[in-house]
Structure 1
Amino acid sequence: MAQPIRILSTKKLLVNQKQFLLNANITVVEADFIAIHNKQVSIDNVHENLIFTSQNSVTSVLENLKSTETLALLKQKNVFCVGIKTKQLLEENGFSVIAYTGYAADLAEIITLIYHKEQFTFFSGNLRRNTLPEALKNAGIVFNEIEVYETVLTPQKINATFDGILFFSPSGVESFLKDNKINNQMCFCIGTTTANALEKYTKNIIIAHQPTVENVIIQCINEYK
């Protein structure tokens, strides 16, 4: 009987997500290589359009403001976001999403081409990429930035061997590589930015067709059918 494929996920999966892999005879080991800490910040001087590039920023704002008047005011503003899961979380909590894309670069293009006369507030994390703010600045768009969460690397040594590794962010890649090496494992990435963080270390990269955890898992299952 063939040995089951062994996969390392660099973040802990939901039960149903893990089950997809188990049903495909893929053994999964999980470990969180980053931790998210929400920041208590003053959210004032907010423009009429809001930008969220991750679910983490949405969660932090919701937790920070809870049922305050400020949160109610935010929900009256137009929202631009990155990621279908981010969009769903926003809409589930009463926000109106005007535009969303899979990547920050695409959102920047939409804003600079169509909404360049508008003013924006960008809710971000400490390790956010420069792609979006640089594009807004270069286009002369008025915006401010409020850092609402912090990503902390939580590196750990993994002694077991794996056929593949699931990566979900550039910071997850950085954290993994602090105490581990990539040899011949296939690396499954949630998007191009995460894949770019791996390019110096391996050519064995498969990028999800959609930037979701589920699609990373689908690509993994398809690879080992």
Structure 2
Amino acid sequence: MINQKKPNILFTTQLKKDRLAALQSSGFSVEAVPFITFEYVIPAMWISQLPDKIDTWIFTSKKAVKALKPAINDLNVPDHIFAVGSKTAEKLESLNLEVTIPDEYNVAALAKKMKDLDLRDVVHFCGNLKAGDLNKLLGEGTNLTSVEVYRTKLAPHTLNTSNYDGIVFMSPSAVESFSERNEVNGTAQIFCIGTTTEEAAKEAGFKDCITPEYSTLDSLTESIQTYFN
């Protein structure tokens, strides 16, 4: 029996040790090379930005939940809290918050659900690089306040992309950072966590991207396994 070479997969973000081990045990050679870094804004810097009237909180990132955690007891929790993605919802539920998730894990589905409920005074806890244009999607009549609770910084560097069979992007900012100094020679398959990231990848010139139905790391892992197996 001939030993086949393990597919070499590049993740352009940091992976937890257990996730890295699980992928490697599934028959892949995996490298995690972060192309972005994060820093959190202390609550004292953003609490004053919150409007007096709020009926909805929105979270499109687990990192926004982490940034909110130290201040949760000092905040008035609104009647409606939305999360894009099950993992983000789990982080909020761990703070004893009741959360609603849109049927599809994207900003457009979230905006539709909020319109159906006629929610008007909305706070989006986000990073400096917001996912999607919520203001445009929600339309007139909605008072949207974007509160920056963490910052994403690009960390570009050069790699030999011909060494990889697959390249994985978890955010549009990772695509931007990677593209500053790297090109894909056409042999590596591109994987994206969600549609917003896929759009950024296509704008950067990456073709035939594979994006799972659900924007979760588990679904993304399944897509990688299905493609190479």
User: What TM-score does the superposition give when structure 2 sets the normalisation length?
Assistant: 0.88
Aligned residue number for residue 107 of structure 2: 104
Give unmatched runs, 5+ long, in structure 2: none
Are 2:60 and 1:58 equivalent residues in the alignment? no
User: What TM-score does the superposition give when structure 1 sets the normalisation length?
Assistant: 0.89
The 5-angstrom pairing of residues 1-225 of structure 1 reads 1-40=3-42, 41-43=45-47, 44-46=50-52, 47-63=54-70, 65=71, 68=73, 70-71=74-75, 73-74=76-77, 77-100=79-102, 101-112=104-115, 114-136=116-138, 138-159=139-160, 161-184=163-186, 185-200=188-203, 201-225=205-229
How big is the shift at 1:120? Answer: 1.4
**Structure richer in strand, relative to its length:** 1
Post-superposition Cα deviations, 1:193-224, rounded to whole Å, max 9, x if no partner, equal 11111114122311012101122111111111
Structure 1 runs of 4+ aligned residues shifted over 3 Å read 98-101
CA contact 1:155–1:176 (8 Å) conserved in 2:
yes
**Letter aligned with residue 51 of structure 2:** N
How big is the shift at 1:20? Answer: 2.8
CA contact 2:172–2:200 (8 Å) conserved in 1:
yes
CA–CA distance in structure 1, aligned partners of residues 35 and 20 of structure 2? 17
- The CA RMSD measured in Å over matched residues stands at 1.8
CA–CA distance in structure 1, aligned partners of residues 87 and 219 of structure 2? 12
Question: Which has the larger displacement, 40-49 or 90-99?
Answer: 40-49
**Letter aligned with residue 213 of structure 1:** L
CA–CA distance in structure 2, aligned partners of residues 207 and 56 of structure 1? 22
CA–CA distance in structure 2, aligned partners of residues 122 and 173 of structure 1? 23
Quick one: structure 1 residues 96 and 162, their matched pair in 2 at CA, closer, same or farther if it must change by over 3 Å? same
Post-superposition Cα deviations, 1:135-193, rounded to whole Å, max 9, x if no partner, equal 22x23112322111111111111136101011101101111111111122101110111
Post-superposition Cα deviations, 1:31-72, rounded to whole Å, max 9, x if no partner, equal 111111111223242513211111111111113x16x4x14x
Tell me how many residue pairs correspond in the alignment. 218
Question: Which has the larger displacement, 171-180 or 209-218?
Answer: 209-218
How big is the shift at 1:130? Answer: 4.3
SS at match of 2:100: strand
CA–CA distance in structure 1, aligned partners of residues 210 and 33 of structure 2? 20
CA–CA distance in structure 2, aligned partners of residues 78 and 54 of structure 1? 17
CA–CA distance in structure 2, aligned partners of residues 81 and 178 of structure 1? 31
**Letter aligned with residue 111 of structure 2:** A
SS at match of 1:29: strand
CA contact 1:17–1:217 (8 Å) conserved in 2:
no
- Percent identical residues: 29
**Letter aligned with residue 142 of structure 1:** N
CA contact 1:116–1:139 (8 Å) conserved in 2:
no
CA contact 1:170–1:193 (8 Å) conserved in 2:
yes
How big is the shift at 1:104? Answer: 0.7
CA contact 1:17–1:214 (8 Å) conserved in 2:
no
CA–CA distance in structure 2, aligned partners of residues 52 and 117 of structure 1? 15
